[in-house]
Structure 1
Amino acid sequence: MSFLHPEFLYYMLPLIVILFGLLLTQKESHATFFSSEVMQRLRVSSNTLTLKARNALFFLIAVLMTIALAGPVIKDGKIEVTAKSADIMIALDISDSMLAEDVYPNRLKLAKQKALELLRLAPNERIGVIAFAKNSYLVSPLSFDHEAVAFLLKKLNTNSITEQGTDFMSMLQVVDKSIKQDAKKYLLILSDGGDKKDFSQEIAFAKKHDIAVFVLGVGTPQGAPIKLGNGEFIKQNGKIIVSKLNDKIADLATKTGGVYIESVNSDADVKAMLQEIERHSKKKELKSEQIEKYIPLVYYPLGLALLLLLIATSSMSKRVKVEVPGLFILAIFLGSSAPSYAGLLDFMHLDEAKNAYKHKEYEKSAKIYDSYAKKSNRSESYYNAANALYKAKKYKEAVQNYEKATFDDKVSRAKNFSNMGNAYAKMGDEASLKKAIESYEKSLKLHEDKDTRENLEAVKKALKKKEQKKQQQKKQQQKNKDQKKQQQKNQKNQQNQQNQKSQDNKKNEKKQDNKEQKNKQHQDNKKDQKSEQRKSQKPSEDEKKQQKKNAEKEKNVKQKEKKEKERKQKSQQKSAEKKQKKDKKKSASVSAAQAEKMKNRMSDAEEAKWLKSLNSEQSTYLYRLNQSNKKKENSNEKPW
């Protein structure tokens, strides 16, 4: 066994021995005034630990804690660790042209996001950062501390360098100075290419100083105007300048042994660029070291010290019946629970959950956080589990975890309500949007936040649109119902009118039949009378003339009756047609148009047949066509 930090033993143990030696040898204050016999008679026996016994226990506790601080371990062999890196230098263009918004949100912000993504994807590489415009500056030397590099990278903007422009030569010179001369240099440029058309000088310099240039083009060939912070656009000679992606910079990459890639919205371009850099680069060994492996023993002295502390601070009796079983039960309880070991495992699990969240393994992170939250019932764990579930697009489960997270701090509670509102908003239905608004309002009551306020307004607009759409759908449904009812009503009215018309026609026909029957009877009676007169007596000449006149009169009466009958039929047809036109103006107009159209296409025979059908009992020929014809006169007729 050995100690990782033996200095604690050297410096702390002597002081502890001296301090407790004085405490143990010191007499009690009342012992200076009374003898031991008197004190024995005055003291009430309580069968508890004496002051010296307690001090002795405290002395042992201090010694055991000092041993734990010294780090007792058992050696478990050696392992060799080798550090290798390709040493990538990132050059970020921060000229004003990078403010163009032809990519989202603009070229500079997109380039910074790409650089940060590269830091995340290459954790084992040394990475440095250079900012350049007209002049170039070293922002961060090559370093494994990616968090520090990312912090410096995020602070860069177009105001970091006062003189604007894009000078690639000055940037290459800074790269050459910042990396050792004998090493192969790998440079990743994030730029829109500036305005230069010929990069021959830069290519020659890069080849001479052994610099492999990789270029990630940020921007589009169509370009965009450059918008400054005050809202104005950069102008030249009174005209707004449109900055475009300069694809000529590809020569600088391809002719120096590197690769040129145009940026995209996803991280596919960064992954492809990192693969190309690793394929072209030769990783050099930076450091090789052998380290010892140890088995830690710190838990044993620390656990024993805690056990003695419980005994020293209790009022346990010295009687054997109480003391021995109590100590054994306490030792068994502490040994079975192993609080120190469990706490360490929890820490390791939480660290694993955090790393899983960083690497976008959200479901795994949520599972670990949720498991720990159920055991510990801690609000932070429920909150972290909810965030991971939100990222995994499990919004309903995320809301349940947000509801379980309760914080005493107002800001934390406000943030929890805000995130809960985001989860409700992602669900998208009307009820969820209303709950999202409630969560945002609760958050803003606790703490005012710009993003939460914007989210609240956006969700209110979305809810309003949904309600308007719902109302429009209800109105459309009601309108369709009303139209359907109106159609049914019109059809019913048409049917009633047709039935009424058919009944009227039948009545008229019946009346005419009755009238004809009466006339026939009257004529028959007259004929009978005449025949009887002829039989009874022979008619004279005057009678013959009179009979002839009567016959002519009867003939004229019949003709008049016939004409009157035809006239009444025609008037009835005309009145029926007028009534039909008045009740069914729209259908009649359509019928007339169709009739005219058919007339232009009909033969004389077809026209005569159509007119005959039109003068029948039916109100329109369209209605007649829906009935089955009993007899077909010609199979070649058109289906009008």
Structure 2
Amino acid sequence: MLRFAHMEYLWGLLIVPAFLLLFIVVTEWKKRAIASLGDKKVVNQMMPEVSLSRPLLKFILFTIAFAFLIIAAADPQIGSKMEEEKRKGADLMILLDVSNSMLAQDLPPSRLENAKQAIAQLIDNLHSDRIGIIVFAGEAYVQLPMTTDYSAAKLFLNTINTNMVPTQGTAIGAAIDMGMRSFDFKDGTGKSMIIITDAENHEDDAVAAAKNATEKDVMVNVIGIGSAEGAPIPVYQNGKQIGFHTDSTGKTVVSKLDENMGKEIAAAGNGTYVRATNANSGLNIVMDQINKVQRKTIDSKSFKDYEDRFQFFLAIAFVLLIIEFFISNRKSLRLSGLKLFEVKKS
């Protein structure tokens, strides 16, 4: 199994085509400059030491050496040992509301940031469960497919914002349906969803979607985020708040947590409803319920003990650069004067 410890360094290989283009331009310029001096045969006789092939050879050696240096910097590693391990876990899909109302600050710094912090803490406490993330507003999108790579999950989590779904709204039902399509029901593991939302659902029948999920033994839990009193929705421009959302009459829109909707969805999904607060996100209560979900032992194989292999690429690059250094751009008159295969006339 091959991997690179610093994959980002491989972008340096894009410089190779630039080298090639520059070499072609310079070579053509030299040819035109020499041609402008006069007849080609006469000019060649006047410059017997000029070589056309050696600069090409030096360029090839240098370019290959450069490419190998870039690969060495990326630190290629080979998995030298395959280990088989067993894990006992379930599948957990997070459905995160990213509608504009999640910018309300009744749970500082905002509903969305509060939710992301809670999810990050949840990921830190996972051990063998697979996790996925779906974001939704007026539409739903898979942000992270099911994975046990918790580092990747936190990386994807950090990129979530309210601008990633172009259609505004709160389509909880669509998010539940997409979550169902994202599950692999063939492995027999327990499945559950955690919906984190202010529950202002205006787009579809989320209760019916949750009820359909239970038909495949998927538990649907809801964490209500926000307050009953509500809060205005900030409007940002270039990272700065410039005001609040208003309706068609110019009145400031106040977004309120709809606990009744959240409770209905959770009840239909045989799950738990919890209201998040600044002191408690509610995820621990929901996870207690999820821990009761059937867990199945799963066999998986992975490479361990990765060994660095950058030394080989570095050594080859070093040798090529030495060879390139000792190749002259000019012909060797002494060597060119040798005619090893010339038959002497007696």
- TM bucket (normalised to shorter chain) is 0.5 to 0.7
Paired residue for 1:190? 196
Indicate if the aligned counterparts of 1:81 and 1:291 stay in contact, CA closer than 8 A. no
Distance, in Å, in 2 between the alignment partners of 1:228 and 1:214 is 30
Distance, in Å, in 2 between the alignment partners of 1:170 and 1:89 is 14
- 1:214 matches 2:221: yes
* 1:150/1:220 CA distance change after superposition, 3 Å: same
- Deviation sequence 1:375-409 (CA, Å, 0-9, x none): xxxxxxxxxxxxxxxxxxxxxxxxxxxxxxxxxxx
Deviation of the 1:291 alpha carbon: 11
Paired residue for 2:175? 171
Q: How many pairs were matched up?
A: 219
- 1:144 matches 2:148: yes
Deviation of the 1:235 alpha carbon: 1.3
Indicate if the aligned counterparts of 1:133 and 1:165 stay in contact, CA closer than 8 A. yes
Distance, in Å, in 2 between the alignment partners of 1:191 and 1:268 is 12
Indicate if the aligned counterparts of 1:117 and 1:267 stay in contact, CA closer than 8 A. no
From 268, 288, 291, the equivalent of 1:255 is 268
* 1:200/1:288 CA distance change after superposition, 3 Å: closer
> Where in structure 2 are there 5+ consecutive unaligned residues?
1-82, 305-346
- 1:89 matches 2:90: no
Distance, in Å, in 2 between the alignment partners of 1:204 and 1:123 is 29
The one-letter amino acid paired with 2:274 is I
**Tell me, what secondary structure is at the counterpart of 2:243?**
coil
Decide which structure has the larger Cα Rg and report it: 1
The one-letter amino acid paired with 1:212 is M
Distance, in Å, in 2 between the alignment partners of 1:269 and 1:107 is 14
Q: In the TM superposition, what are the counterparts of 1:423-442 in structure 2 within 5 Å?
A: none
- 1:232 matches 2:243: yes
Deviation of the 1:212 alpha carbon: 1.0
Paired residue for 2:254? 242
Indicate if the aligned counterparts of 2:173 and 2:210 stay in contact, CA closer than 8 A. no
Distance, in Å, in 2 between the alignment partners of 1:216 and 1:277 is 13
Deviation of the 1:198 alpha carbon: 6.5
Q: In the TM superposition, what are the counterparts of 1:301-340 in structure 2 within 5 Å?
A: none
* 1:125/1:267 CA distance change after superposition, 3 Å: farther
Paired residue for 1:275? 288
Q: In the TM superposition, what are the counterparts of 1:187-586 in structure 2 within 5 Å?
A: 187-196=193-202, 199-230=206-237, 231-238=242-249, 239-247=251-259, 248-267=261-280, 269-279=282-292, 281-287=293-299
Deviation of the 1:172 alpha carbon: 1.4
Deviation of the 1:202 alpha carbon: 2.2
From 126, 132, 142, the equivalent of 1:128 is 132
* 1:115/1:198 CA distance change after superposition, 3 Å: same
The one-letter amino acid paired with 2:291 is E
**Tell me, what secondary structure is at the counterpart of 1:240?**
coil
The one-letter amino acid paired with 1:122 is L
The one-letter amino acid paired with 2:217 is D
Deviation of the 1:216 alpha carbon: 1.1
Indicate if the aligned counterparts of 1:117 and 1:270 stay in contact, CA closer than 8 A. no
* 1:201/1:291 CA distance change after superposition, 3 Å: closer
Percent of matched pairs sharing the same residue: 31
Deviation of the 1:80 alpha carbon: 7.7
* 1:291/1:174 CA distance change after superposition, 3 Å: closer
Distance, in Å, in 2 between the alignment partners of 1:139 and 1:216 is 19
* 1:269/1:203 CA distance change after superposition, 3 Å: closer
**Tell me, what secondary structure is at the counterpart of 2:112?**
helix
Indicate if the aligned counterparts of 2:103 and 2:112 stay in contact, CA closer than 8 A. yes
- Deviation sequence 1:134-164 (CA, Å, 0-9, x none): 1111111111111111111111101001110
Distance, in Å, in 1 between the alignment partners of 2:303 and 2:153 is 28
- 1:107 matches 2:116: no
The one-letter amino acid paired with 2:117 is Q
* 1:125/1:240 CA distance change after superposition, 3 Å: same
Distance, in Å, in 1 between the alignment partners of 2:144 and 2:303 is 29
The one-letter amino acid paired with 1:270 is L
- Deviation sequence 1:190-239 (CA, Å, 0-9, x none): 11101449644223322334321111111011100111113221111221
Structure with greater helix percent:
1
Distance, in Å, in 2 between the alignment partners of 1:269 and 1:203 is 20
Give the TM-score normalised by structure 2: 0.58
Paired residue for 1:461? none
Give the TM-score normalised by structure 1: 0.32
**Tell me, what secondary structure is at the counterpart of 1:228?**
strand
Distance, in Å, in 2 between the alignment partners of 1:234 and 1:159 is 15
Distance, in Å, in 1 between the alignment partners of 2:95 and 2:180 is 12
> Where in structure 1 are there 5+ consecutive unaligned residues?
1-78, 293-640
Indicate if the aligned counterparts of 2:169 and 2:201 stay in contact, CA closer than 8 A. no
Indicate if the aligned counterparts of 2:102 and 2:111 stay in contact, CA closer than 8 A. yes
Paired residue for 2:337? none
**Tell me, what secondary structure is at the counterpart of 2:142?**
strand
**Tell me, what secondary structure is at the counterpart of 1:172?**
helix
Deviation of the 1:268 alpha carbon: 6.1
**Tell me, what secondary structure is at the counterpart of 2:199?**
coil
Q: In the TM superposition, what are the counterparts of 1:583-622 in structure 2 within 5 Å?
A: none
**Tell me, what secondary structure is at the counterpart of 2:194?**
strand
The one-letter amino acid paired with 1:244 is K
**Tell me, what secondary structure is at the counterpart of 1:101?**
coil
* 1:256/1:195 CA distance change after superposition, 3 Å: closer
- Deviation sequence 1:587-610 (CA, Å, 0-9, x none): xxxxxxxxxxxxxxxxxxxxxxxx
Paired residue for 1:573? none
Structure with greater strand percent:
2
**Tell me, what secondary structure is at the counterpart of 1:229?**
strand
Indicate if the aligned counterparts of 2:210 and 2:220 stay in contact, CA closer than 8 A. no
Indicate if the aligned counterparts of 2:194 and 2:221 stay in contact, CA closer than 8 A. yes
